[in-house]
Amino acid sequence: MVKVRFAPSPTGNLHIGNARTAIINYLFARKEKGIFCLRIEDTDMERSRRDYESSIIEDLRWLGIHWDEGPLRQTERLDIYKEYAETLIEKGLAYRCFCTKEELEQMRKVYLSRGLPPRYNGKCKGLSKDTIAGYIREGREFVIRFRSPMAPVKYTDLIHGKIDFPYDHVDDFIIIKSDNIPSYNFAAAVDDMLTGITHVIRGADHISNTPKQIMLFYAFEKEPPLYGHHSLLVGQDKKPLSKRHGVTGIKEFKAMGILREALINYLGTTGRPMEKEVLTIEGLIDTFDLSSLSPSDSIFDIEKLLWLNKEHIKTMPIERLLDEAGLSPDYAQRVDALRENARTIKELKELLTIFDGKTIDEDGISYISQRNGIKDMADSIERLIKDYPNLDFDYILEEIRSRYRLPKKEAMILLRVIFTGKKNGPPLRDIFPLILKDSILARLICLKERLSQD
């Protein structure tokens, strides 16, 4: 059975790039009727925080991602990692390293002076048992290093295809640090092995970690999982997506009025050729194919996300839409009339001022103040609204057109500005019956005051 995991580090809030990894794993697990696990990789003791973990879990739940196992926290498994490291020592596949920071820095300088990448030179690899015991009695700090087999590593990536690493790509890397905290690669490999992960699907920035993890599996005489590394989300400048590119956190997207359906739709289809772009979670699961993911980086397109959000707003059940906007059922008719024009929930709520607002925005004032006879026209509309509050919209339109000899398009725009306070918006004929007449009268007062100032 397929078993995957999403393994965030709680060193910050959930980023859209990490959310994409979670969604890809989730869709794959559900398509294959497999198991989706949540693992919290919290071994960065300085930066990991429990409130970030809570925030990540909250965001995953908001997205509708439900895990079958977990959350498994690595800091609750330190004894397990220590035990497996000792096993490697007993097998001669790992050793204690007592090198000081100064010694390691000197090694780094030597390699750099030769034009080579820094690496550990194996100084402690051949220490005798007596020497090791003596150093431990002296209280010397040590780390545990994996003894690299110095052999090439080859594997077939589920997205990138065949990848080869040369024999000297991996040096004797640390698996347990001096504070008894496991390194990322060691903890990840041990957990993947013990929890039976069959597919490791993550960002392409982890490709370089893969040979170390494969080596560890073979050291424990276990078959490694299948690995797939999806493309990264980048900005328009082709650089890794970060705050300088704008909104990147899931909570920020939620605050700006992006629906979970739209965000999952966008992240679940980005980097894939799709016949149909607007999909529900069920449609995403049905059409998901890991091999369809492009290995090339994907440019984050906020306009595409906003378009998808608008499409989901159009088709969402009105009850759910009201709930997302935090509105009572009394708003149902007004929200239904506006949903075609809003790209976000935030915009939708802002458009509601059409029905009960008392002002005209600057764009509307600028347009209407350039028209001749506007003061007289405003007076005529005011009399019609006051004397005949139940007037049909088409009657008002034809009355204004004939009295002031206006083309239909111009008359519609002028009436839209006066009735809604905006130059653009949903079909005026449809929303006119929902606009409070007191709001129209208030906007007329606003218009007259502005005109008197010019």
User: Which of 424, 410, 412 is closest to 351 using CA atoms?
Assistant: 424
Percent of the chain with pLDDT over 70: 100
Q: Is residue 246 over pLDDT 90?
A: no
Please indicate whether the domains covering 3-70+185-233 and 352-453 agree at the CATH topology level. Answer: no
Where is pLDDT greater, at 391 or 427? Answer: 427
pLDDT at 245 over 80: no
CATH class of 352-453: mainly alpha
CATH code, 79-176: 3.90.800.10
Summarised one tens digit per residue, pLDDT across range 8-60 is 999 999 999 999 999 999 999 999 999 999 999 999 999 999 999 999 999 99
Q: Which of 425, 278, 242, 260 is nearest to 345 (CA)?
A: 260
DSSP string, 24-63: HHHHHHHHTT-EEEEEE----TTT--HHHHHHHHHHHHHH
d(CA 147, CA 170): 10
pLDDT digits (tens, 9 = 90+) for 63-104: 999 999 999 999 999 999 999 999 999 999 999 999 999 999
Give the pLDDT band of residue 135 (cuts 50, 70, 90).
very high
Per-residue buried b or exposed e for 236-249, using 16+ beta carbons within 10 Å of the residue's own CB: eeeeebeeebebbb
pLDDT band at 454 (very low <50, low <70, confident <90, very high): low
Query: Which pLDDT does position 372 carry in this prediction?
Result: 80
Instruction: Give the pair of three-digit tokens for residue 197.
Output: 């992960």
H/E stretch holding 436 reads none
Average pLDDT score over residue span 157-165: 97
The full set of domain ranges for the chain reads 3-70+185-233, 79-176, 243-315, 352-453
Instruction: Give how far the C-alpha of residue 269 lies from the chain's centroid of Cα atoms, to the nearest Å.
Output: 13
Q: What is the mean pLDDT of the segment spanning 337-365?
A: 93
Domain 3-70+185-233, architecture per CATH: 3-Layer(aba) Sandwich (3.40)
Average pLDDT, the chain: 94
For residue 448, the model assigns a pLDDT of: 87
Tokens at 39, concatenated: 């693992």
**125, containing H or E segment:** none
HEC sequence for 364-417: HHHHHCCCCCHHHHHHHHHHHHHHCCCCCHHHHHHHHHHHHCCCHHHHHHHHHH
Determine the average pLDDT of the residues in 256-263: 97
Quick one: pLDDT at residue 231? Answer: 94
- pLDDT digit string, tens, across residues 3-16: 999 999 999 999 99
Q: Considering the domain 243-315 in this protein, what is its CATH number?
A: 1.10.1160.10
pLDDT score, position 391: 80
State yes or no: pLDDT of 244 exceeds 80: no
Decide: 259 and 280 in contact? Cβ < 8 Å: no
**Banded pLDDT at 387 (limits 50, 70, 90):** confident
pLDDT (mean) for 278-303: 95
| pLDDT score, position 149 | 93
- Assign 156 to helix, strand or coil: strand
